[in-house]
Structure 1
Amino acid sequence: MAVEMTPSQALGLWHAVSLEQVRAESNDLSLRQMAILLHIYLVPPPHTVRALAATLGVTKPVITRALDSMGALGLVDRVRDEKDRRNVVIKRTLKGALYLERLGDRIIDRGRQLPV
């Protein structure tokens, strides 16, 4: 089902959800961190630092810093790839899945409040 919105409505939805997310969560994520987290959870694994950097068009240290922050929050986990010890594989966590599920619920709730 396609949802029709004006650009103003779309921005209003993003604004409302962002405000609610900042107010509700003790830890809010940067746009870059959110893009990484959504990629990890919405795109089938495996996910590596190298692949995430290539996908987002940033350097590996940028991804590493974002993963450090998100790892400290328990949203993702990193483990060495047993097949190739040079690679670090990013794993999903229950806390990260719940975080995104709550975000999805907020988007749905706010979307339903849009004027028709």
Structure 2
Amino acid sequence: DSLDELKRLCDTAGLDVRGRCCQAVQHPSAATFVGSGKLEEIRDSVEALAPGGDGGGTVVFDDELSPAQQRNLQLTRPRPVPLRLQIFAQRARTREAKLQVTLARMRYMLPRL
């Protein structure tokens, strides 16, 4: 159910969902959230499914990533995206809504800088 909801959020954000995978783990990796084997599997899938095979796909996690996990994933592939902020930014119409999205992004990015 959670992955179906995540797919609908991706559709709302304008992302083309080309694959999904899951991993049952009691203690996520402190470095990358997923284990090295699963990370390699995701990387291979992104490269195979990305338009033109350029590896430029986006990976969405159905859990909050710590700043360290996000940084470590950005140094490699895949690159995670804060999906809900992206959706809010696309839907913001008023000046106040756009400012609120900007503030939320800044608060989100602060510990990641």
TM-score after normalising by structure 2? 0.31
RCO higher in 1 or 2 (8 Å CA, sep ≥ 6)?
A: 1
TM-score, length basis structure 1: 0.31
Q: Which has the larger radius of gyration?
A: 1
Q: Which has the higher strand share?
A: 1
